[in-house]
Amino acid sequence: MSEDTNIDKKAKDLLAKMTLPEKIGQMVQIAHSSDTIPEDLKQRLREGGIGSMLNVTVPEINSEIQRIAVRESRLGIPLIMGRDVIHGYRTIFPIPLAQAATWDPQLAKECARAAAREAAAAGFQWTFAPMMDIARDPRWGRIAESFGEDPFLASRFAAAIVRGFQGDDLSAPDAIAACAKHFAGYGAAEGGRDYDTANIPENLLRDVYLPPFKAAVDAKVATVMTAFNEINGVPSTGNARILRSILREEWGFCGFVVSDWRATAEMIDHGFCEDMKDAAKKALIAGVDMEMQSSAYRDHLLELIEEGVISVKLLDDAVTRILRIKFQLGLFDRKPIYSAKPPETPEYENIDLAKKAALKSVVLLKNQNKTLPLSRKIRSIAVMGPLADDSYEVLGTWNRDGRVEDTVTPLTAIRNYLGASAQIHYLAGLESSRSANTSQFAPALEKARQSEAVLFFAGEESILSGEAHSRAHLNLPGAQDALIAEISKSGKPLVLVILAGRPLTIGDISEKADAVLYAWHPGTMCGPALADLIFGIEAPSGKLPVTFPKTEGQIPVYYAHKNTGRPPDKVSLTMMDSIPLRAQQSSLGDAARYLDIGYKPLYPFGYGLSYTTFIYANIRISPDKIRSGEGFKASVEVTNAGEMEAEEVVQLYVRDRTASLTRPVKELKGFERIRLKPKETKNVSFDLSAGAMGFHNSAMEYIVEPGKFDLWIGGDSHADLMAEFQIIE
């Protein structure tokens, strides 16, 4: 008997012993963060009225809750204990958007594996991650939790992190169940406002927003979470089209679906459900197996079954899926469910991994006159900015279980690196990133003048991104811009390091700096990673996983846009200041762009500089004519033309020139991170298939059409080294 068959039998055998209230109990998840267990909660556990709990962070309480469920309930069914382990548990790794900037899915998998070990030791068997919503609007706070704007890149990271959390054996003591969220289209919320409406044509949904979820399902993700938003008028938690038709029937997902926090009840506010009873009915019919935090299932499912509105089979199917995951997790036998002992300090291996991830995630956006790296023999340096010595804010959103005493700040790392060989002039200049107090401007300028170079650590606090933290303006908060402008008057080399959870509109203030490093929120080992980059122990190698706008008025701005009938790069452009006064109405020969800002972003998707120069040459495609179902190779020679060993992310993009539905100007179809010594040349080859060049047509069929294609290979999405191939009948 196979393991899956054995688990199916165990789940069905257990289901046959359960009463209706016990079955409904398995579909109930509640939060509990107190250091005591109320008597009513104990009684619910004894009655089998709860299937899962989240946020039980007191180790003794975690263990006792499990003991009551197993030892004092009639059937002894363990709970699944959940926690938002988004980018680390005790060791905080870079935020997911920063991990995507590494373009290294294997590294992200290792980070997830380390986080799983720590969380499992603390008594958790389930994380509500990874979040794989495609995010093309940086105003949306949860872009920090995403892998950026591209479905190909996000799919690679989604699958890697699922495998990292779950390991090779979900029943292993150090494995935890992953949860693919938020299904689906959450990142397309209107205006970048959290929880808002999303209107997405189904072919766009299938080609852009669903691929990362399909990759997670293919990686055998244990659970899926519904989104808060509605899609085309139907809330995700009540959306049978996506939960049953696509997720289960088309993709064959056999894990269980959990609602997001009170998302079942929120369908009433959406105007989709009349009351909680209606919400319970529609959520279960749609395919939600477990309800998080709200009580529609607990209060109304039994009544709905007794009235014949909901079939017992629908209930049994949901409970069976939950039980199957519990058996797969080994909760009934192998996993030490009474053990909840959080690590006292992060392990050395995890700290080393956190530094490696932070180092690879940092993106060099500007390096005028080779300002960076700074000389290791520097004798005086000014370290400034509200985030230069902040051990909390650099951890980023969802940092609940990290500890500030583990964080190494940039100031600490720079002091440790330079030792007594240099004088460090430290002044935050502002009490926080949001402070408008200018009283320290004059002392800051004086310290800058006393120094050979200035390092300014700017950005946004961790609470300004993440869930429920959308922003209409993406500038540096508070008086940071003004302070940077003041310090720039010193005339000393100015290095700007941005620590943020999203792309910020830093174009104007970047002009005041000689070099700009975008470090996101890098986590526990923020300081040592940045010190290594600033002083040239390693070269920056991060690449942007999302396009940076010049201003909020360009949003949405992303590289895989359509060409339009009047593309701006093929038409003479008229800027607003050049239009004559009292001009008659005319298109002025203009194109699809803005009169006052143009059409180019501040920085394109995939962009990132290095301390060396990489030269691309000799692009080849073989064969250059293929049939649907056949494969082909594309290759390029990459040379490190500089004097420093460094890593480069080689990126491959494709365009379908003509199709029955218009296609984006470029689509990422491959990438590889390579390391080259000075003057070294490497041939980088990609194995591609004609099938990967398809799309969903108006009938929602995935098709590969014959025609001519352009292919680019380079260091970002503006790569211009191009070749052609053709798919033939």
Distances (CA, A) of 257 to 303, 316, 571, 582: 22, 14, 50, 61
Our measurement of the distance from residue 402's CA atom to the centroid of its chain's CA atoms, rounded to an integer in Å, reads 18
Strands 515-518 and 625-627: unpaired
Instruction: Single out the residue of 524, 507, 529, 526 nearest to residue 516, CA to CA.
Output: 507
Residue identified by tokens 């230069």 is: 388
Our measurement of the distance from residue 451's CA atom to the centroid of its chain's CA atoms, rounded to an integer in Å, reads 38
Distance separating alpha carbons of residues 553 and 595, to the nearest angstrom? 11
Beta strand residue intervals within 488-645, DSSP E: 494-499, 515-518, 614-622, 625-627, 631-640
| Beta-carbon contacts of residue 8 (< 8 Å; ≥ 6 apart) | 324
How far is residue 14 CA from its own chain's centroid? 37
How do strand 681-689 and strand 631-640 relate by DSSP bridges? antiparallel
DSSP line for 322-347: HHHHHHHTTTTTTS-TT-----SS--
> Residue 131: CA atoms inside 13 Å, Cβ hemisphere, count?
30
Amino acid at 564: T
Helical H runs in 235-311? 240, 263-270, 276-286, 296-306
Rounded CA separation 300/272 (Å): 17
Token reading at 147? 């892998």
* DSSP string for residues in 486-528: HHGGG-S-EEEEEE-SS----HHHHTT-SEEEE-----TTHHH
What's the DSSP call for residue 131? B
Q: Long-range contact list for 46-49, CB < 8 A, 24+ apart? A: 46/72, 46/73, 47/21, 47/22, 47/73, 48/18, 48/21, 48/22, 48/73, 48/74, 48/75, 48/77, 49/21, 49/22, 49/24, 49/25, 49/298
Tokens of 615: 């030269």
> What positions carry a catalytic annotation?
260
Q: Where are the alpha helices (DSSP H) in 17-104?
A: 20-26, 39-46, 59-71, 96-101
Please state, in angstroms and as integers, the Cα–Cα distance from residue 722 to each residue in 85, 513, 692, 709, following that order.
Answer: 42, 34, 19, 10
Name all contacts of 617-621 with Cβ < 8 Å and 24+ positions apart. Answer: 617/721, 619/711, 619/713, 619/721, 619/722, 619/723, 620/723, 621/711, 621/723, 621/724, 621/725
Query: ω before 568 within 30° of 0 (cis)?
Result: no
Q: Is 61 helix (H, G, I), strand (E, B) or coil?
A: helix
Check: CB of residue 268 under 8 Å from CB of residue 283.
no
Determine how many CB atoms are found less than 10 A away from the CB of residue 643. 11
The residues with which 140 forms a beta bridge, in sequence order, are: none
Instruction: Give ∠ CA 115-119-120 in degrees, rounded to 5.
Output: 115
Q: Which residues contact 367 (CB under 8 A, 6 or more apart)?
A: 514, 515, 609, 611
Buried b (16+ CB within 10 A) or exposed e, 396-426: bbbbebbbeebbbbbbbbbbebbeeebebbb
**Secondary structure element (H or E) that encloses residue 7, with its range:** helix 3-16
Paired tokens of 511: 């002009």
- Exposed (0-12), middle (13-18) or buried (19+): which is 699, by Cβ within 10 Å? exposed
Rounded to 5°, angle at Cα 445 from 439 and 446: 105
